[in-house]
Copies of this chain bind each other. A is one copy, B any other.
């Protein structure tokens, strides 16, 4: 015992000099714990008395006794009358599995995946300015648990902004801040399902992630055909709810035709239906003023969903829903039950960013930048791939490149060989879609940084037929 103990004493000094310096007892506790944990002190081993260890180490006996007591309290040691202090029988856990290596290798060199903005142009300095002002002005209770709908400062700023920029009829009491549109869909799907709804119409091309979220809540997603006038909202009869992207259909890129906007609202009123309007990139329209939100036509029948993920950065995890008065408290309560609130400081920062005008300035400059990229894309394609028809480019951060029938797979494969990440249109097709598939590429021209853009575009041109 004395021998093995001496070894431990040596280990102490070798292993934890910093800990020893910062507190003898703490250092001793840590070293003993490590010795037990690492198996150097086997289960059942009787430790020296506190007196003898104290003498060995030249420290106070109480220090040793305290360290023993700490480790007894933590369960590493046991102390029994008459049998002294021993290493607990259960104190050797199984080995911790080695950390799994992160997936690397095969990462693409060029990225034209749709659905992400150019995060390299995130306005860091302006954001930090807003954060500083927001933190300085925040009342103490902003740091507490807070209103499940989100901070009132942000909801007020959003109400004003959305009315002005998107024609949304919003008041702060009917806004619920969520960590993303997808989470909003989880909440809304749960509420609709609880109301007895069994299915929801979605566009036959869209985000499978959103369909999955709705599926998870118990709703079945049923596709509505999409053509060059948007979704067939004239076929909504028999449905109780619909998820639409009216300003800019994702991913085909067409705005919902005025007749179909009207048909959607008519249906909702006639049938008591609810429209979930996903306005993911409504700010970005290039050739004329943005189409206003459908929600403005009937705020009691249309739920508006917006996000900072495209206009600023997905990492902020800030999005919002504007709800009919009756639904807002239910949605807030459910959100609270899910425990998925957003940081209040980040909310206050966005509120300042909106009210200070920084948001408008950023959107304006991003719009110009994306527009230049779009024009560049169109010109390059006209030169290098004249047979490819480019559609869906009046707005948004992506374009659809129509390909000869049957060629999509081949072109996507060719792109991957160029180490270019992008997706075919079929990737966005609802599995129950009746219409024959269209061959096309979905090109996210907003995704790369300015540095990476030219090379990505060249890789795209090389991959095209």
Interface residues in chain A, defined as those with a beta carbon under 8 Å from any beta carbon in chain B: 25-26, 29, 33, 37, 66, 70, 72-76, 78, 88, 90-91, 93-94, 96-97, 99-100, 116, 119-120, 122, 124, 127-128, 131-132, 135-136, 140-146, 167, 169, 171-174, 179-180, 182-183, 185-186, 212-213, 216, 255, 258, 261-262, 265-266, 269, 288-289, 291-292, 294, 296-300, 313-318, 325, 337-346, 449
Once bound together, how far apart are the Cα atoms of A172 and B337, in whole Å? 28
List, in ascending order, chain B residues with CB within 8 A of A255's CB.
73
Contact of B339 with A340 in the complex, beta carbons under 8 Å: yes
Contact of B119 with A127 in the complex, beta carbons under 8 Å: no
Contact of B173 with A99 in the complex, beta carbons under 8 Å: yes
List, in ascending order, chain B residues with CB within 8 A of A338's CB.
183, 186, 338, 340
List, in ascending order, chain B residues with CB within 8 A of A66's CB.
288
Name the distance in Å between A33's Cβ and chain B's nearest Cβ.
7
Contact of A262 with B78 in the complex, beta carbons under 8 Å: yes
List, in ascending order, chain B residues with CB within 8 A of A345's CB.
127, 315-316, 346
Copies in the complex: 2
Contact of B346 with A297 in the complex, beta carbons under 8 Å: no
Name the distance in Å between A40's Cβ and chain B's nearest Cβ.
16
List, in ascending order, chain B residues with CB within 8 A of A179's CB.
179, 339-342
Contact of B144 with A339 in the complex, beta carbons under 8 Å: no
Give the contacting residue for A143; candidates B119, B269, B288, B340; CB below 8 A.
Answer: B119
Give 8 new A-B contacts, CB below 8 A, not counting A93-B298, A179-B341, A186-B339: A25-B289, A72-B258, A74-B292, A74-B294, A94-B298, A116-B145, A122-B140, A144-B315
Would you list 26 pairs from A and B whose C-beta atoms are within 8 A, ordered by A residue?
A: A25-B289, A74-B297, A75-B261, A88-B262, A90-B298, A96-B169, A119-B140, A119-B141, A122-B143, A124-B136, A128-B131, A142-B315, A143-B314, A143-B315, A145-B314, A179-B339, A180-B341, A183-B338, A186-B338, A186-B339, A213-B339, A316-B343, A316-B344, A317-B341, A339-B340, A343-B346
Contact of A317 with B343 in the complex, beta carbons under 8 Å: yes
Among A140, A186, A343, the most chain B Cβ lie within 10 Å of the Cβ of: A343
Contact of B289 with A172 in the complex, beta carbons under 8 Å: no
List, in ascending order, chain B residues with CB within 8 A of A37's CB.
169, 296
Once bound together, how far apart are the Cα atoms of A106 and B291, in whole Å? 46
List, in ascending order, chain B residues with CB within 8 A of A262's CB.
75, 78, 88, 90
Interface of A is mostly: helix
Nearest B residue to A173 by beta-carbon distance?
Answer: B99
List, in ascending order, chain B residues with CB within 8 A of A265's CB.
75, 90
Contact of A99 with B183 in the complex, beta carbons under 8 Å: no
Give the contacting residue for A90; candidates B74, B75, B91, B297; CB below 8 A.
Answer: B297
Nearest B residue to A297 by beta-carbon distance?
Answer: B75
List, in ascending order, chain B residues with CB within 8 A of A171's CB.
96, 99
Give the contacting residue for A337; candidates B33, B116, B212; CB below 8 A.
Answer: B212
Once bound together, how far apart are the Cα atoms of A216 and B194, in whole Å? 13
Once bound together, how far apart are the Cα atoms of A76 and B124, in whole Å? 39
Nearest B residue to A69 by beta-carbon distance?
Answer: B288
List, in ascending order, chain B residues with CB within 8 A of A269's CB.
90
Name the distance in Å between A386's Cβ and chain B's nearest Cβ.
31
**Which A-B residue pairs are the 9 nearest by beta carbons?**
A340-B340, A183-B339, A315-B344, A143-B313, A119-B143, A97-B325, A182-B339, A75-B261, A143-B315
Name the distance in Å between A209's Cβ and chain B's nearest Cβ.
9
Name the distance in Å between A286's Cβ and chain B's nearest Cβ.
15
List, in ascending order, chain B residues with CB within 8 A of A449's CB.
140
Give the contacting residue for A116; candidates B144, B298, B343; CB below 8 A.
Answer: B144
Name the distance in Å between A100's Cβ and chain B's nearest Cβ.
6
Contact of B325 with A343 in the complex, beta carbons under 8 Å: no
Contact of B297 with A91 in the complex, beta carbons under 8 Å: yes
Contact of B135 with A127 in the complex, beta carbons under 8 Å: yes
List, in ascending order, chain B residues with CB within 8 A of A317's CB.
341-344
Once bound together, how far apart are the Cα atoms of A140 and B173, in whole Å? 35
List, in ascending order, chain B residues with CB within 8 A of A266's CB.
90
